[in-house]
Amino acid sequence: MSRGIAYRRAKMATIKQQRRHWWQHDMSPQQIGLAAATPKPCSCWMCGHARRHHGRTMQERRQLDSFEIQKDDGP
């Protein structure tokens, strides 16, 4: 089932309603639109991608460990 344009417009209206005080109390319509499209405009250690600031994820470390063990077990 595909969603129509009416659904996407309603969804965006909901997001804009939720984020009308996102960064400060009185936000202009332009700022609300920006907050709806990009909720985290910066890349600091709290907002940015976790791998960039905290290294590999647990899942990736586990997979690499498994690969190293299997590589040494070869014939």
| Contact set with Zn ion (CB under 5 A) | 42, 44, 47
CB of 7 to Zn ion, least distance (A): 31
Which residue has the closest beta carbon to Zn ion? 47
Nearer to Zn ion, 40 or 56 (CB): 40
Question: Which is nearer to Zn ion, 13 or 47 (by Cβ)?
Answer: 47
Cα distance between residue 19 and residue 59, in whole Å: 33
CB atoms inside a 10 Å sphere around CB 32:
19
Residue 73 DSSP SS3: coil
- Which residue has 């040494």 as its token pair? 72
Residue whose CB is less far from Zn ion, 52 or 71:
52
